[in-house]
Amino acid sequence: MSSPKHFLLGEILLKQALITPGQLQQALQLQQKFKSYKPLGQLLVDQGLLPLERLNAVLDAHGNRARLGAVMLRCQMINQEQLDHALSDQKKWRLRLGKVLQHVYGVPEKDVKRALAVQRNIEFVADATTINIDRALARTINEHYARKNGVCLINHLSGDLWILLDDPADFSLINELKLLSPRDIRLMTATSEEIARVLNCVYGDATAARHTNFTIDETYTFPEKGVFEQPVIRPG
């Protein structure tokens, strides 16, 4: 059975006439069929019933976004005792919960990143070689900035700018990235190792890139500059 938080989100969406009662019921029934936890909002987005930007606006406006610890519990990545101890340590050390769970309690980074992806309604990339990378687009951001922030521009798909990001909760960086393009941005995340593989492919020489399993496109020309520490955008 779905938690009260999910029903609350459904009630908000109904009240704002963003979905119909039938659509809500259909999504809740579909949610029960997944072996692993999938948020109601993400199901509505995946079914094309709710734009992702509208979902995020509702979640943030009403404080209804699931907490990371709750997501990890629901996904059976941790137990309640681990969470209680980690929350206590988080307050003591003033670190993010994900960092505490990973570095103190040995929770695998991929689990933390998967949970962050669920929480933020973004894609988690388990194997970066499955990504179709537009290398010319990616290299419009300079290597120092990309490695410092763990970020890579991936491609334009369905009119959106897709970005691979190490920390999907870094809102300052996300706001900077929005200046790159008038298009909507869609975020993905992955483990640090997978992101490093992508960046090594993008900024390595052509020979190194050809010997990877990445799908590479060298043809992109970036249309406009962004506002970043200089020089982020490479000269044409």
- If pLDDT is split at 50, 70 and 90, which confidence band does 195 have? very high
Each residue of 4-56: pLDDT tens digit?
444 488 899 999 999 999 999 999 999 888 877 778 888 898 888 988 888 88
**Residue 124: phi, psi to the nearest 5?**
-105, 130
pTM beyond 0.85: no
In CATH terms, the superfamily for domain 124-217 is Type II secretion system, protein E, N-terminal domain (3.30.300.160)
- Alpha helices in the chain, H assignment, sequence order: 4-15, 21-31, 40-46, 52-61, 68-74, 80-93, 97-103, 109-120, 135-138, 143-149, 171-177, 192-203, 206-210
pLDDT in the model for residue 180 = 84
